[in-house]
Amino acid sequence: MVRVMGVDAAGPRWVGVTSDQRVYADHSIEELMALADADGVLDVVAIDIPIGLPDAGRRLADVLAGSAVGPLRASVFTTPPRSVLQAESYAEAIELSQHSSGKGVSRQSWALGPKILEVDDVVHRSTRTIVEFHPEVSFATLAGRPLTTRKKTWAGQEERRALLAGAGIVVPADVGRAGLLVGPDDVLDAAVGSWSAQRYADGVSVSFPPEPEQLDGIAVAIHA
């Protein structure tokens, strides 16, 4: 049976939820995948992080994902070029971004640089199937409509838990060590990532854009 995992960035850590509804947490994406592999080799990993970096301008995947989530479009940020992510300071990142695109870069986007570059390195070295997903795009696809509740609210988490349960994904109350290290919204995001990864493995996922862009030798699309 195919075994997959959805992965979300959770502060200094990564959290993963597998298709057999086990939850893992670690500081390294490679160590996280190794932990999960120990319980059964993963066939597909879907990660909530940009995979494929632009030289300049916006990725079509980000543009279409923002449209797909409607009221929560602010949760989809523009992926900066590699040079911006590698900047040694936020001031330098702004300068480089303005030079390449005529616009600045949000502090949140630049702060995610180490994690984006960590995944970028793994993707370029690995023979494993690793794809990109975005939780709000996946939840909107699962619901058949954009969500309006925010994931950190009680209403938002209850809505997301209900959607996951309807798809047969019931995250247990006790998720062991991971439950002490990461937030509930991160676990739910990783769980819907496992749904997207399973759909990708089954050949029924949708992608944004339908025909991936080629950036830096990678077929770039957000899958749901």
205, burial (CB in 10 Å: exposed 0-12, middle 13-18, buried 19+)? buried
**SS3 of residue 151 by DSSP:** coil
pLDDT of 100 above 80: no
Interatomic CA distance for residues 68 and 62, integer angstroms: 10
pLDDT digits (tens, 9 = 90+) for 111-161: 888 999 999 999 999 999 999 999 999 999 999 999 999 999 999 999 999
- Sign of the dihedral through C-alpha 42, 46, 47, 51: positive
pLDDT digits (tens, 9 = 90+) for 64-88: 999 998 888 888 888 888 888 888 8
pLDDT of 102 above 70: no
Find the mean pLDDT for residues 179-197.
96
Q: In this predicted structure, what is the pLDDT of residue 151?
A: 94
- Sign of the dihedral through C-alpha 192, 193, 196, 201: negative
**Are the C-beta atoms of residues 20 and 7 closer than 8 Å to each other?**
no
- Tokens 């670690």 belong to 26
The answer to whether the predicted template modeling score (pTM) of the entire model surpasses 0.85 is: yes
Interatomic CA distance for residues 116 and 49, integer angstroms: 6
pLDDT digits (tens, 9 = 90+) for 18-50: 999 999 999 999 999 999 999 999 999 999 999
Q: What domains, with CATH codes, occur in the chain?
A: 4-53+120-223 (3.30.420), 75-116 (no CATH)
In residues, how long is the chain?
Answer: 224
Q: Which two tokens stand for residue 67?
A: 């449209």
Q: What are phi and psi of 44, to 5 degrees?
A: -140, 140
> Which residues, 6+ apart, have CB-to-CB distance to 134 below 8 Å?
48, 65, 69, 75, 76, 222, 224
Find the mean pLDDT for residues 185-214.
97
Q: In this predicted structure, what is the pLDDT of residue 80?
A: 87
pLDDT of 93 above 80: no
